[in-house]
Structure 1
Amino acid sequence: MMRYLRIFQIPAFARYFFGDTIVRLVEQCVQVALLWFLATRGHSPANLGWYVFWNTAPVIIGGPLTVKLFRYWSIRRSMVVDLVSRGLGYGMLTVVIY
């Protein structure tokens, strides 16, 4: 089995892979928590629908902007800015819809 996982012997890739995996798991947990919050306290199914609709904005807008940041900043700094801005966006969206 180890012969198939040689790529994890490269420290930079292993750090990226495990870091990205943890970030994605946490991001999905937050998404489920926000959906649960709006489903139980959002007062209408329309609020939940609007949240899901507007939830795509950070992906559609944030993706290309992050790529542009890569040209000016390091990848790590760009990813931190992307994650923080998405978190703030999701938080503000939840407050506005609630």
Structure 2
Amino acid sequence: MLEIALLCGLAVLAANLPFLTDRVAFAIPGDKLKKHFGWRLLELVILYFLVGGIARVLEARVTSVQPQHWEFFAATGALFIVMAWPGFVWRYFWRKPGL
């Protein structure tokens, strides 16, 4: 049960991480390379598969891994995008003071 809670927390953090930092690929400072939405979307996709890989490892520790089809990835991808909503709103819709 603890693993599920940690995995959900990790998924929420990973979904919002591309919108919380200006570093491209979490390494290159944003002042050297402008981080536009395409970079954030690419990071979001990479983090989706990274969290999915961690979930698969956790599942393999408990039971045999179930085969997944496109429906699973469509549903979990949509859920991951919904989890990214707070970071997206903070980055693009929230009014910054002095701007």
Give yes or no for TM over 0.5. no
TM-score class, shorter:
0.3 to 0.5
- TM-score normalised to the size of structure 2? 0.37
Q: Identify which of structures 1 and 2 has the higher relative contact order when contacts are C-alpha pairs closer than 8 Å and 6+ apart.
A: 2
- TM-score normalised to the size of structure 1? 0.37
Higher-Rg member (1/2):
1
